[in-house]
Structure 1
């Protein structure tokens, strides 16, 4: 009988010790810092809008670990990003899948950022193409978007040691339409597209017009609040779309 009682005591003691150990592990401090910022056009100082789905990502590599797996911060539709739950440390910050020139084209240095508390860090970049002089008019169910394209850099060295530059071709321009304000290439119910396949030259092929008629699209025949955005995409490896402003209209 006593042996049974002793066994029970050992079992209970083991359970208590296990629970105590678990509590000790749970008492480690959680992440108390964060990183936030903006992607800014280096020349204009304006935000560089993105796709909320499959858009530009900010990779952060934390010091002190080998191997280390990068964390990826998604950039919002307006070109801002934020992660409030990171550990204080020094990180390497690298943008990937971008709609601006990066290490693959003009050799942007990897940023080294010491994160302590909520830390602000803006990336100043050169977009593949800009949508400028944008104007949108509505008449009944029809919308006309007029705008110009501006290309900050027409050619680049794609790899270290290259002696010949490669032209940055702008593939196409589109007017994207959706009921969601995050409208874009990855989130559109309707669109009008024009192929370009050229380097943008001021005064030669920089003016465009795209029309959209909601009465001719089954997703929009009932009307309502609709969001539109013009985007242009470059023929660069893994390039993402460059955008103009998001416009809200009622039909």
Structure 2
């Protein structure tokens, strides 16, 4: 009986030791960060934070294996960062509401690595606050396709929310009335007329003396129905 107990204890300790050895992997030791940049202007291309643009990293050097992508979301201002990767060689590219102008092959990530990606956005937008009251914000929006883009402009609008991640799916929604989003269908309108027009949208039923994050939105007919955006603006409604 004593021999059996000693044997069981030996197996128990051996199992724990084996598990510790298997789990004793090196922690991620590198990071990569940068911006999605308009190749024509050099400016960052604003993005939808949730379910929007993605940065894909494929680590190279695995013979006979297809590496799985390491995906990172992009911030509203077009910047990205991933601090949970290993040193090594990667292929890096972006997916979003733009034509990719360059894909980075054989990117050598060593420590903290910086890398921008140049793209051609489907649309370039402008957004201007025209007026505000205690319960509303009026916004002027212009949308233009980038040079050479023949995609149909399908939607134009504006959104307002209580966080900087405001987008067409994440906006101020009082009583489920969708009051923080104004979006019109332009699929039956001519693109030249859309590009020449200034749209004015009134976002209503807001709270007085409250900070809102506002941006223009628009999309073409594209795979994924991805939206282009302006940068986020801060607007505080008037006091009651």
TM-score by length of 1: 0.81
Q: Distance in 1 between matches of 2:92 and 2:59?
A: 9
Q: Distance in 2 between matches of 1:59 and 1:29?
A: 22
Q: Distance in 1 between matches of 2:17 and 2:170?
A: 50
Q: For structure 1, which runs of at least 5 residues remain unmatched after alignment?
A: 156-166
Report deviation, 1:109: 4.1
From the superposition, tell whether residues 228 and 176 of structure 1 become closer, same or farther in structure 2 (CA, over 3 Å).
same
Q: State the match for 1:182 in structure 2.
A: 165
Report deviation, 1:199: 6.6
Q: Which has the larger radius of gyration?
A: 1
Counting only pairs closer than 5 Å after superposition, residues 1-251 of structure 1 correspond to structure 2 as 4-65=1-62, 66-96=65-95, 98-102=96-100, 108-109=102-103, 111-132=105-126, 134-140=127-133, 141-155=135-149, 167-188=150-171, 189=173, 190-197=180-187, 200-201=191-192, 205-214=195-204, 217=205, 220-221=206-207, 224-251=210-237
Higher deviation after alignment, 65-74 or 117-126: 65-74
Q: For structure 2, which runs of at least 5 residues remain unmatched after alignment?
A: 174-179
State the aligned residue count.
Answer: 226
Report deviation, 1:41: 0.9
Query: C-alpha root-mean-square deviation of aligned residues, in Å?
Result: 2.3
Partner SS, residue 186 of structure 2: strand
Contact 1:142–1:211, Cα closer than 8 Å, also in 2: no
